[in-house]
């Protein structure tokens, strides 16, 4: 059953939330009186469609349905969750909550507020327990952090429901133990922002030089280890205690101006804006967003490959979606087995815009590896000293796969005995076969490096599938040699 979320406010953050929910299979209902809201959200969504799937190693679920509504009441009808992302004015937010709770009294409302505490937002509400902070970071469709902050009026089950919804759309919900203005992330950003403004005002550095100090130095460390873990490493073998002893006295030195704020006036605005235009004005905003997204994808995928930091969140979300949306066969049947679901990602594409040859072999490997796990010859079996090795492989390209295409691997066993099996994988795009891969695998004793009979348990499972496929016609193209006439 498709789930539904409501987005109130369709700016940069609201558009990011809409994209995050939509691309994770939710229907999204939007209310924003701005006549440009639909155009703005679709522009954000276009960038998200290019970016978010590139972080996934399983196919994304079917995209939800996006609708725009003329009233808050219409937008919240049938919804299970609301993400409020209107302007940072508490009177406006409370007005929105009143209308939401009148139209749908039990609805859970998460606020994207950058600084208001939940207890502030709840004042005057007939159902304060259903209003909670869920503060994201831009771009919402890529960055996983959501700071979840409630008040004593939010019961544990409301916090737990908010956390689960965030996890369901691939986010990392960080629950604050104690209410605080601006939460955790923005308090750090405010401190850095104040220091940056003082450096500009005092003529110490330009906007470009300040950004270079971040992106060429500590920003790279923070992206994968944060603050305390970074400093723990800086302490060397003696660890954090040594670091504190070495650098602790600097806390009393007058390095920063955290408690002072430069006067906010036209001169400050002109200083920042002029330097920022010189630094980045050659790029349009949408172009900068795409550059940012592609850089983040590379960084996040590296973390994902290492199962570290934000990469852990991406891996866990892949695993959850693979179970929820993409079923594979687990028992023998008298037809080819669906063994793998895949989606063509940006890194799979060659200079012609088509899926590159190596990825067809990868699609076959995903299908055969899933089959090996099905018959009990997965990694635990390999750890015991036995494995199936590929001896021969023959691929035929029958169609084209392009960026975003959803593929599945269907496997048929043509023959099998105690020491080998011959598989035939069809790589399907819908009902069209884009490639076939025929493969001979030998069972090997890894200790001796020679073929050997499979274990009785593995062979029994293999034979049951082979027997079920005995009556199937030989696949068209099976046994062909390279260059043989069609």
The helix/strand count (H/E) of the chain reads as 17, 14
What's the CATH architecture for 4-183?
3-Layer(aba) Sandwich (3.40)
CA 451 from chain centre, in angstroms, equals 42
Give pLDDT, residue 312: 92
CA distances from 386 to 273, 312, 368, 440, 456 (A): 65, 30, 16, 16, 13
Give pLDDT, residue 386: 97
CB 328 within 8 A of CB 463: no
DSSP per-residue codes, 347-367 = GGB-TTSBB-HHHHHHHHHHH
Confirm whether 186-282 and 328-469 share one CATH topology.
Answer: no
Which residue ranges make up each domain of the chain? 4-183, 186-282, 328-469
Give pLDDT, residue 480: 83
pTM value?
Answer: 0.80
Buried b (16+ CB within 10 A) or exposed e, 91-114: eebbebbebbbebbeebbbbbbbb
Query: What CA–CA distance (Å, rounded) separates 430 from 422?
Result: 25
- Within 10 A of 396 (CB to CB), how many other CB atoms are there? 17
CB 359 within 8 A of CB 434: no
Domain 328-469, classified CATH 3.10.129.10, yes or no: yes
Digits of tens for pLDDT over the chain (486 positions)?
899 999 999 999 999 999 999 999 999 999 999 999 999 999 999 999 989 988 988 888 999 999 999 999 999 999 999 999 999 999 999 999 999 999 999 999 999 999 999 999 999 999 999 999 999 999 999 999 999 999 999 999 999 999 999 999 999 999 999 999 999 999 999 999 999 999 999 999 999 999 999 998 999 889 888 888 888 888 888 888 888 888 778 777 777 777 787 888 899 889 888 998 898 888 888 888 988 998 898 899 899 988 989 999 999 998 888 776 667 888 999 999 999 999 998 778 888 889 999 999 999 999 999 999 999 999 999 999 999 999 999 999 999 999 889 999 999 999 999 999 999 999 999 999 999 999 999 999 999 999 999 999 999 999 999 999 999 999 999 988 777 765
Taking alpha carbons only, the member of 335, 339, 305 closest to residue 322 is 339
Give pLDDT, residue 242: 83
What's the CATH architecture for 186-282?
Orthogonal Bundle (1.10)
């Amino acid at each position: 059953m498709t789930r539904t979320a409501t987005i109130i406010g369709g700016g940069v953050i609201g558009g990011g939330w809409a994209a995050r929910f939509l691309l994770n299979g939710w229907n999204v209902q939007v209310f924003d009186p701005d006549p440009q809201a639909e155009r703005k959200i679709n522009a954000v969504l276009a960038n998200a469609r290019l970016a978010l799937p590139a972080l996934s190693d399983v196919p994304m679920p079917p995209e939800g349905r996006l609708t725009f509504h003329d009233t808050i009441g219409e937008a919240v009808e049938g919804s299970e969750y609301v993400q409020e992302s209107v302007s940072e004015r508490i009177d406006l937010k409370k007005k929105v909550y009143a209308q939401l709770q009148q139209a749908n009294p039990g609805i859970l409302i998460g606020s994207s507020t950058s600084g208001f505490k939940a207890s502030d937002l709840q004042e005057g509400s007939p159902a304060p327990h259903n209003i909670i902070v869920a503060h994201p970071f831009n771009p919402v469709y890529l960055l996983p952090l959501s700071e979840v902050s409630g008040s004593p009026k939010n019961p544990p089950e409301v916090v737990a429901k908010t956390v689960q919804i965030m996890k369901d759309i691939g986010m990392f919900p960080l629950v604050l133990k104690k209410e605080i203005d601006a939460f955790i992330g923005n308090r750090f950003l405010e401190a850095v922002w104040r220091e940056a403004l003082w450096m500009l005002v005092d003529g110490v550095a330009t906007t470009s030089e300040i950004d270079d100090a971040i992106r060429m130095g500590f920003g790279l460390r923070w992206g994968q280890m944060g603050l305390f873990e970074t400093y723990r490493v800086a302490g060397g073998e003696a660890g954090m205690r040594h670091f504190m002893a070495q650098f602790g006295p600097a806390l009393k030195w007058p390095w920063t101006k955290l408690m002072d704020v430069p006067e906010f006036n036209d001169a400050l605005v002109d200083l920042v804006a002029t330097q920022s235009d010189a630094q980045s004005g050659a790029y349009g905003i949408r172009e900068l967003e795409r550059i940012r997204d592609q850089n983040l994808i590379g960084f996040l995928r590296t973390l994902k490959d290492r199962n570290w930091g934000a990469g852990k969140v991406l891996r866990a979300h892949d695993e959850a979606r693979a179970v929820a949306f993409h079923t594979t066969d687990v028992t023998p049947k008298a037809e080819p087995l669906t063994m793998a679901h895949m989606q063509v990602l940006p890194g799979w594409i060659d200079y012609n815009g088509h899926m590159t040859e190596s990825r067809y072999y990868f699609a076959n490997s995903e299908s055969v590896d899933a089959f090996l796990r099905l018959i009990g010859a997965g990694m635990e079996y390999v750890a015991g000293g036995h494995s199936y090795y590929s001896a021969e492989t023959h691929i035929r390209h029958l169609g084209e796969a392009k960026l975003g295409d959803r593929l599945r691997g269907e496997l048929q066993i043509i023959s099998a005995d105690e020491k080998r099996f011959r598989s035939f994988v069809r790589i399907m795009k819908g009902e069209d076969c884009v490639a076939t891969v025929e493969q001979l695998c030998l069972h090997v004793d890894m200790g001796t490096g020679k073929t050997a009979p499979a274990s009785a348990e593995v062979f029994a499972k293999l034979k049951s599938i082979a027997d079920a496929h005995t009556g199937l016609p030989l696949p068209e193209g099976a046994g062909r040699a390279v260059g043989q006439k069609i």
